[in-house]
Amino acid sequence: MAKKVSRKKPLKKTHAKPPVPPTPAKKTRGTTKASPKSPKPKSSKPKSSKPKSSKPRSATDRASSSAFAFTDGLLSPDAVRDIKLSCKSSSWSSGRSGGVAPPAPGAGPRARMLGYDDTQEPTHRPVIVAEGDSWFDYPPGVDILNWMHVDHGYSVQQFSHYGDTLENMIYGEHAAAAKPTDFLIRTIEHHRPRAFLFSGGGNDVAGPELRPFLNHAQSGLPAIRLDYAERVFNENVRRAYEHLLDAFHGASITTPVLAHGYGYPIPDGRSVDLLIFRVAGPWLKPAFDEKQWGPREAKETMRTLIDMFNDMLAGLASDYPDRFYHVDVRDLVRDADWVNELHVADSCYRRIARRFQEIIEIAT
């Protein structure tokens, strides 16, 4: 019996010992210091899921961390959508424009604000005002103004619209009740922006407007009519820019004006397509085909025209010092950047926006 008891006692002891080691081990890990650690990972899971869902809503945060992924210079459709949403435009139609009367429908240029809540003044962001064509308003992709908001933190008072011509931007339509420059002056006086950005002239040498610049191949003359091109750029186009600058000067506006001269396009017949549908273009190749010029002559002609346009802008910068700044982007636009005859890839527009920011810092 004593043997049996002695066997039972050690068995009880052995059963008592195994629980003992785990309990001190739990106590050393499960003290008051360890107990909050275990719920933290559980509570952190829902918290970590919130930023994941909020990331698509904050393109600015992703841009600051260089999180954009480009494929052949293009962003994914989702990324383009996210950036466009982050640059959501608000209209002056609400009437909350700080005392600046909104443009009447059909009576003036479009007025939209990128990255701006029109229920309050945009005190949290510096403001720039912009007028222009599709390089400042490109629905299929992320244009220069989108990048100015996302990368450089501006609220952008935008009057630009794709397809607009220089004459319409400066002089307006015949039936318009007010001049476009009047709206720009009032906007600049109200917002006191850091700079005024301008993108105009590209549509004035594209499409049907390109034909008068060209001789016919059968004429035995050079492809480009130099005398005509020089007259257009140095008289017509320059005078439009001067009209804008003189209007600003007459209103005592000292805001620096920045304008770019585009890059060297490739007249290869590419257009803006949506699925199987052609939305716009081509704008260059048809004119060269009509005049019976080949790809080499067409490309050389467009380089000459773009150089002449940039030379005119450089001359303006010299004649209007500290008021007008030529943003030369020819070195930033490579052949591979063109997605069609008039527009470049998202990544290229981003580089151009960075060049604008560099000039703004110099000008201000």
Q: How confident is the model at residue 41 (pLDDT cuts 50, 70, 90)?
A: very low
Q: Is the pLDDT of residue 11 over 60?
A: no
Q: Per-residue pLDDT averaged across 217-222, rounded?
A: 98
Mean pLDDT of 217-224: 98
Say if residue 85's pLDDT is above 60: yes
Phi, psi of 132 (to 5 degrees): 170, -165
Residue 179 has pLDDT above 90, yes or no: no
Q: pLDDT tens-digit profile of 283-336?
A: 999 999 999 999 999 999 999 999 999 999 999 999 999 999 999 999 999 999
Average pLDDT over all residues of the chain = 81
- pLDDT single digits (tens) 154-178: 999 999 999 999 999 999 977 666 7
> Strand 127-132 relative to strand 195-199: parallel, antiparallel, unpaired?
parallel
Q: Taking the CB of residue 235, how many other CB atoms lie within 10 A of it?
A: 11
284 touches 206 (CB < 8 A)? yes
Name the most confidently modeled range: 14-28, 87-101, 126-140, 266-280. 126-140
Token readout for 179 is 């001049």
pLDDT category of residue 44 using cuts at 50, 70 and 90:
very low
The pLDDT, as a whole number, for residue 110 is 54
CA distance 180 to 107: 9
Select the more confidently predicted residue: 327 or 65. 327
pLDDT value of residue 305: 98
Q: Is the pLDDT of residue 243 over 50?
A: yes
Q: What is the structure's pLDDT at 278?
A: 84
Token pair of 192 as six digits: 């006191």
Give this prediction's pTM.
0.78
**Going by C-beta distance under 8 Å and a sequence separation of 6 or more, which residues neighbour residue 287?**
207, 208, 210, 211, 214
Contact at 8 Å (CB) between 198 and 259? yes
Q: What is the 3-state secondary structure (H, E, C) of the chain?
A: CHHHHHHHHHHHHHHHCCCCCHHHHHHHHCCCCHHHHCHHHHHHHHHHHHHHHHHHHCHHHHHHCCCCCCECCECCHHHHHHHHHHCCEEEHHHCCCCCCCCCCCCCCCCCEEECCCCCCCCCCCCEEEEEECCCCCCCCCCCHHHHHHHCCCCEEEECCCCCCCHHHHHHCCCCCCCCHHHHHHHHHHHHCCCEEEEECCHHHHCHHHHHHHECCHHHCCCCECHHHHHHHHHHHHHHHHHHHHHHHHHCCCCCCEEEECCCCCCCCCCCEEECCEEEECCCCHHHHHHCCCCHHHHHHHHHHHHHHHHHHHHHHHHHCCCCEEEECCCCCCCHHHECCCCCECHHHHHHHHHHHHHHHHHHC
Percent of the chain with pLDDT over 70: 71
Q: CA 177, CA 143: separation in Å to the nearest integer?
A: 30
Q: What do you get for the CA distance between the two ends of the chain, in Å?
A: 103
With a cut of 60, say whether residue 258 has pLDDT above it.
yes
Domains and CATH numbers, the chain: 70-93+105-363 (3.40.50.1110)
More confident residue, 332 or 27: 332
**Per-residue pLDDT at 153:** 92
Across 49-58, 197-206, 280-289, least confident range: 49-58
Residue 168 and residue 188: Cα distance in Å, rounded?
19
pLDDT of residue 175: 62
The pLDDT value recorded for residue 353 is 98
Q: What is the pLDDT of residue 67?
A: 76
pLDDT of residue 62: 52
Looking at the predicted structure, is the pLDDT value of residue 266 above 90? yes
CA dist list (Å): 148 to 60, 86, 125, 152 = 11, 12, 12, 5
Cross-strand pairs, 132: 199
What average pLDDT does the segment 61-74 reach?
74
**pLDDT, mean of residues 227-250:** 98
Q: Is the pLDDT of residue 228 over 90?
A: yes
- Of the candidates 157, 180, 185, 159, the one whose C-alpha atom is nearest the C-alpha of residue 168 is 180
20-41 average pLDDT score: 43
Torsion of CA 345, 170, 131, 260, to 10 degrees: 50
Phi, psi of 152 (to 5 degrees): -115, 5
pLDDT at position 253: 97
